[in-house]
Amino acid sequence: MPPALNLYPLLKMDPLIKMSCMIKSLLLGALLLLGSGSVSAYTLEEFQFDSPEQQTEFRELIAKLRCLVCQNESLAGSQAELAQDLRNEVYRMMRAGQSQDEILDFLVERYGDFVLYDPPLKPSTYLLWFGPFVLIGIAGFVVVRTILSKKRAADEPISASEQERLQALLDNSPDSPSSSSRST
Amino acid sequence: MIPELGHLALIFALILATAQAAMPLAGSLTGHRPWMTMARPLAYGQFVFVAIAFVALVEAFLTSDFSVLYVAQNSNSLLPGIYKVSAVWGGHEGSLLLWALMMAGWGAAVAAFSRNLPLPVVARVISVMGMVAIGFLLFMLLTSNPFERLFPVPPEGRDLNPLLQDFGLAIHPPMLYMGYVGFSVAFAFAIAALIGGKLDAAWARWSRPWTTVAWVFLTIGIALGSWWAYYELGWGGWWFWDPVENASLMPWLVGTALIHSLAVTEKRAAFKSWTVLLAISAFSLSLLGTFLVRSGVLTSVHAFATDPERGLFILIFLCIVIGGSLALYAWRAPEVSEGGRFDLLSRESALLLNNLLFVAFTVLVLFGTLAPLIYEAFNLGKISVGFPWFNKMFLALAPFLALLLGIGPATRWKSDQPWRLTKLLWLAFALSIGVLVLTSMSAVSGDDLWVPIGIALAAWLLFSHLTIVRDRLKHKQQGWRQAMVADFSGNGRSFYGMVVAHLGVAMFIVGVTMVSNHQIEKDLRMSPGDSHEMAGYRFEFLGAQKVNGPNYRADQGHFLVYRGERQIAELFPEKRSYLGGGMPMTEAAIDAGFFRDVYVSLGEAVGGGDWALRLYYKPYVRWIWLGAALMALGGAIAVSDRRYRTARARSTAPAGAVGAKA
């Protein structure tokens, strides 16, 4: 374990989780209020493919899958032992001639939707996919109503005290009224 | 001895902050002038004592005083000097102290640069800042004292996290905190205005430059973090939608909405209560981000228990700040008048839409960050919300923002005519459509529709802003160049600042579009002497050798990069093992260019002198950070506008002669 680990409550994950998968979280912890950790590169070299297309397909596939024990990482990026196992599994299935969909279906059955890095659209995720837009829609409605009501509203007269303050500001200001009204 | 002095200074700072929070406010409410005039000296005093504490901690690091627990955990006698200083904010306790220092610094700055403000306003603003400072100083003293001693004294420290031993990350946190904490000034102005019940254009004018400065710092801080992630993490990404990143993005998004909304409040005295709400939100989100990251709830709702003391403190603090300010808002805001009327087509409407979109982005980020927690808390199953979700959601809204951004600045306040806008912008629009058609036919687009859309939107921003500048200068008598210079030294700074910042957005869009769709990434195994062709570049691997740094050992690869027959770069990517322990680190080697980066990152030695490694070709990736830099520059130009300068000049030179000359 990197020495400074215990300083960062964020990083206190389940100890069973392999350090390596936390790498990115650790790194990114540093972005906000400083975390710790380190990185080692990962390479696809360990997998041999018949064709560049197959390699591309494999890359696409593991990018769609999630490292199950990491905070925010696809299978393609993760160094966790579990992720490596899963990559090997995907590789074996591909070599056995299974299609992308078959592999994905199998993995979803085994691990649940969580294994998909991109959550699927279905009733349990409606909240996730549409929730924000409902909120935004409500906000949009309020905005439109505001604009429309503003169109009808009359200019409100300024109060006597405001008039006084305005005069004081104008007297103090070296800007001429015409030049200040043009600035943005 | 010195660490104890630091500790003592913190306690004094807390006492002063308490007085700062109470006395000026009480004075402003009772009209007791002497109490109000205490605001400035108390703010200076608090700053001085926090600064003493900070210097004491720096001293402990510079002398490698490992009897201080925090120093022992974050430093090492072999650490290079500059990193001994940056190690001060390399951990939790020290970053809090830095935060407190900046908080006190902003307070002192407000005290110093607010001579032209009415005393009750200054008193209330400084009071509110004192209240926030109490929270942070208490947090530090109760749960996170950086001066805690360690017995027995270890002979050597554990070393600074190697990742932080980097220039980009040494200055990233201070910039970010300057932004976070800077929003506390906008917050304090808003709360002060609510307390005083006087929300007007003058209030907006006072808080506007402060808000913009904070926003500039936050922009730089986030861009630095992204740039650092790009070159230091070794896989070439520049944004990961990680919770900690999101935590910094949310205040930025709301802050961006706020600086636009303040413009309306200043110019037209409209959206007042909305602007106040944004000011409260921007700072609250800064605090929320701190809470989310610090407490550990993001990892899992159960992780909160791992450090309940700190988490609980921040949670309570958060509730007091957010709850208190919203309660005040609910109590006071209904009394606020809502400015004059404006038409459907007007600058006000455009800026309101801008605010809607930025708030929508914030909602997206907040929702995406918290969704896994919500699902977990309500037993709805575990879901994965990461990169793909955020990208899709943002892409659904971003084009609207870019379209609006080309129109908004061209609209007139209060009321505009559709035909006038059409006449003004049709050429810019036609040119952008031309760009759209050309790019979708050319090879640049590949097979993805997003490339032509992105490029065309950037072109639209460029053309429309050129049009807007031309329109502004059209009526001037001189030639356009003299007119622009005169305008710039006159009242035009905030206008040109806006143009520069918006062109930064265009540049950012190009960078994101190109690098997302056209980057090339290759994982390879190479033997010494091998070469590999990629994107028209030939990478020749000459082998790797061992090198020693001050506190690490490294394997250093040696690459020559050729374009055709010409050698364009010599790259030395490293894989470092720090003596302090921890995992090996990759130090990517990058040949940076305006239009592309080539990037080599060393993986594992795989035997026989062979290395597994990763090559990248990253077109236009610099434009992402250059765009952010332009945005920050635009903000800085806007703040230097004459109407803020005259205010300041008047305050320092009572005759007002300086302001008149400028």
Question: What is the predicted pLDDT for the residue at B167?
Answer: 83
Domain at A3-120, CATH class: mainly alpha
pLDDT confidence tier of residue B446, bands split at 50, 70 and 90: low
Q: Do B307 and A9 touch (CB under 8 A)?
A: yes
pLDDT of res. A155: 55
For residue A130, give how far its alpha carbon lies from the nearest alpha carbon of chain B (Å). Answer: 10
Residue B593 pLDDT > 60: yes
Q: Does the structure show a pLDDT above 50 at A180?
A: no
**Which of B298, B384, B494, B519 to mutate: most A Cβ within 10 Å?**
B384
- Residue A64 CA to residue A47 CA, distance in Å, equals 18
| Residue B55 CB neighbour total at 10 angstroms | 16
pLDDT digits over B368-394, tens only?
888 888 887 887 777 778 888 898 899
With bands split at pLDDT 50, 70 and 90, how would you rate the model's confidence at B523? confident
Q: What is the residue type of B75?
A: S
pLDDT tens digits for range A109-141: 888 778 888 777 877 788 888 888 888 889 888
Q: What is the pLDDT of residue A18?
A: 34
Helices (H), chain A: 23-33, 52-64, 81-95, 100-111, 126-152, 160-172, 177-182
Quick count: other Cβ atoms within 10 Å of Cβ B284? Answer: 21
| Whole-number Å distance between alpha carbons of B464 and B453 | 16
Average predicted confidence (pLDDT) for chain B: 87
* Distance of alpha carbon B187 from alpha carbon B328, whole angstroms: 12
Q: Which of 433-452 (B) contact A at CB < 8 A?
A: none
State the average pLDDT over residues B520-525: 83
**Residue B269: what pLDDT?**
81
Q: Calculate helix-pair angle for B272-295, B201-232, nearest 10 degrees.
A: 30
Ramachandran area for residue B529 (φ above 0: left; ψ -120 to 50: alpha; else beta):
left
- Across A107-111, A130-134, B103-107, B176-180, the highest mean pLDDT is recorded for B103-107
Which residues between 540 and 579 in chain B have a beta carbon less than 8 angstroms from any beta carbon of chain A?
A: 575
Inter-axis angle of helices B167-196 and B92-112, to 10 degrees?
50
Q: pLDDT grade, residue B90 (50/70/90)?
A: confident
**pLDDT score for A130:** 87
Q: Which amino acid is at B517?
A: N
More confident residue, A148 or B134: B134
pLDDT at A3: 33
A–B: how many Cβ contacts below 8 A? Answer: 292
Q: Which residues of B touch A30 (CB under 8 A)?
A: 161, 163-164, 169
The span from the CA of A73 to the CA of A27, in Å, is 12
Q: Give the side-chain half-sphere CA count within 13 A for B16.
A: 23
Tell me the pLDDT band of A100, cut-offs 50, 70 and 90. confident
Smallest Cβ–Cβ distance between B356 and the set A23, A71, A140 belongs to: A140
pLDDT value at position B58?
Answer: 95
In the structure, what pLDDT confidence band is assigned to residue B505 with cuts at 50, 70 and 90? very high
* Chain B residues 110-169 with CB within 8 Å of chain A: 158-164, 169
Query: Does B415 score more than 80 pLDDT?
Result: yes
- Does position B107 have pLDDT exceeding 70, yes or no? yes
The per-residue pLDDT for B268 is 85
Burial of B448 (0-12, 13-18, 19+ CB in 10 A): middle
Instruction: Give the 3-state DSSP-derived string for A38-62, with helices as H, strands as E and coil as C.
Output: CCCCCCHHHCCCCCHHHHHHHHHHH
pLDDT at A159: 67
pLDDT above 80 for B294: no
Among candidate residues A81, A89, A83, A95, the one with its CA nearest the CA of residue A18: A81
Asked if the Cβ–Cβ distance from B389 to A28 is below 8 Å, we say: no
The Cα–Cα gap between B319 and A130 comes to 28
Per-residue confidence (pLDDT) for residue A35, from 0 to 100: 29
Nearest CA in chain B to A159: B337
Q: Is the pLDDT of residue B74 over 80?
A: yes
- CB distance A154 to B341 below 8 Å: yes
Nearest CA in chain A to B309: A9
Q: Choose from B68, B98, B163 for mutation: most chain A CBs within 10 A.
A: B163
Highest mean pLDDT among A7-16, A114-123, B562-571: B562-571
| pLDDT, greater one: B489 or B632 | B632
Among the partner-chain residues A10, A41, A125, the one whose CB lies closest to the CB of B604 is: A41
Which of A34, A118, A139 lies nearest to residue B388, judging by beta carbons? A118
d(CA B181, CA B631): 19
| Beta-carbon separation of B293 and A10 below 8 A | yes
The rounded percent of chain A whose pLDDT value lies above 90 is 0
Quick one: which H or E segment has residue B511?
helix B493-518
Of residues B438 and B336, which shows the higher confidence score? B438
Distance from CA of B205 to the nearest CA of A (A): 12
**Alpha-carbon dihedral B87, B92, B94, B98, rounded to 10 degrees:** 110
What are the C-alpha distances in Å from B33 to residues B18, B29, B39, B123, B598? 19, 10, 10, 10, 64
Which of A128, A133, A143, A166 is the best substitution to test chain B (most B C-beta atoms within 10 A)? A128
The residue extents of the domains of chain A are: 3-120, 124-172
Best probe of the A interface among B203, B260, B299, by most A CBs < 10 A, is: B299
- E strands within B31-91? none
Would you say residue A42 has pLDDT above 70? no
Residue B602 pLDDT: 85
Would you state the pLDDT for residue B541?
92
| B343 contact A CB<8A | yes
For residue B45, pLDDT over 80 is answered with: yes
By Cβ distance, the residue of B303, B409, B601 closest to A13 is: B303
Residues of chain A positioned with their CB less than 8 A from the CB of B387: 72, 74, 117
Beta carbons within 8 Å of B48's beta carbon, 6+ residues apart: none
Identify the residue whose tokens are 């806007």.
Answer: B638
- Find, among B39, B313, B86, B82, the residue nearest to B188 by Cα: B39
Q: How far apart are the first and last CA of chain A?
A: 55
Kind and range of the H or E run holding B603: strand B596-607
Tell me the per-residue pLDDT of B624-638, one tens digit each, with 9 for 90 and over. Answer: 999 999 999 999 999
Question: If you average pLDDT over residues B482-500, what whole number do you get?
Answer: 85
Q: State both tokens at A63.
A: 């990018």
Residue B571 clears pLDDT 90, i.e. is over it: yes
User: In this complex, do B234 and A4 lie within 8 Å of one another by their Cβ atoms?
Assistant: no
The C-alpha angle with vertex B294 and arms to B292 and B298, in degrees rounded to 5, equals 40
Tell me which residue has tokens 């917050």: B187
